[in-house]
Amino acid sequence: MLDSALFSRTLTWPDAQCFARQQVLAHLATPAGPITVPLTVCEVAESPAAPGAHQFRISFQGPADAFLTQGTYRMQHPQLGDYAIFMTPVARRPEGFVYEACFSHVG
C-alpha cells in the first residue's frame, strides 16, 4: 500500500500546520486485508533545530482498539492528499494510543 511516489512527497511545516486538530487516516496492509485507522492530530509543534534546519513533530491520537506498531504508514488527509509518514507509538491512554512523527528539513 506504500506506493514509491509517496516517498517523494515532502511534508512541509505549512502542510503540517494544516493537519492541526484534523482527522487523518492511516492505511495499512494486514494478512486479513487492508485496514484504515482514523487518527486525530493532537499537536503540531516546532522543535529546536541546528542552524539551517527546520524540525517539527506531529502527535496523533488513535483509537484504543487499534494499535499501530512503529513504522511507515500511508497517511491520508482530506485536502492535502497522501503522505508516507514514519511514526512511533509513545503513550497509551484510556481513550487510545498516542503516536508521534518527527520531521527535519535542511535548507
In the chain, the domains with their CATH numbers are 4-106 (2.40.10)
Spatial separation of the C-alpha atoms in residues 35 and 75, rounded to whole Å: 12
Task: Select from 82, 67, 103, 91 the least CA-distant residue to 24.
Answer: 82
pTM, entire model: 0.86
Question: CA torsion angle for 81, 48, 105, 23 (degrees, to 10)?
Answer: -10
- Please name the residue that has the C-alpha cell 515532502: 10
Q: What is the mean pLDDT of residues 1-8?
A: 67
Spatial separation of the C-alpha atoms in residues 99 and 72, rounded to whole Å: 12
Predicted local distance difference test score (pLDDT) of residue 2: 66
pLDDT at residue 19 is higher than 90: no
